[in-house]
Amino acid sequence: MNSSEKPNPTPSLASTFPYEKKLDLMRGLMWDYNIPPEHCLEVLEGKREKAGHYTEATLFRKLLESYRWFTIIKIIPPERVLELLTDNVIRSLRFKSLSERYAFIRKELQRTLQVAR
């Protein structure tokens, strides 16, 4: 995808990865830390406050900077992504192009999820 293309913010809202695949992705995300992948997933799902030193905001930022949108949306439900995709998280992303992409995605998710209600 080149920088002028905008990702579809809601690729298949119903499809998610199996639990084991999600854990594998968490292992890949945290390859350099001794943090259980289950703890990471629980933080991203809102079921745990921290995984090691990572909060939901810092762990979600790491997820955004590490995986493609189409992978992220299969790990976390879109409603939860919208909760985690705050102005602070978007501003904290390392690359301006990524910040712009996720600002667009947040706007589209808000619109799409509002229509779905």
Q: Where are the domains of the chain?
A: 19-116
Q: What are the distances in angstroms from CA 71 to CA 26, 30, 49, 87, 115?
A: 12, 16, 23, 21, 23
Global confidence as pTM:
0.84
Task: Kindly give the confidence (pLDDT) of every residue in the chain, 117 residues in length, as a single tens digit, with 9 standing for 90 and above.
Answer: 444 445 555 444 558 999 999 999 999 999 999 999 999 999 999 999 999 999 999 999 999 999 999 999 999 999 999 999 999 999 999 999 999 999 999 999 999 988 776
Cβ neighbours for 99, distance < 8 A, ≥ 6 positions apart: 90, 91, 93
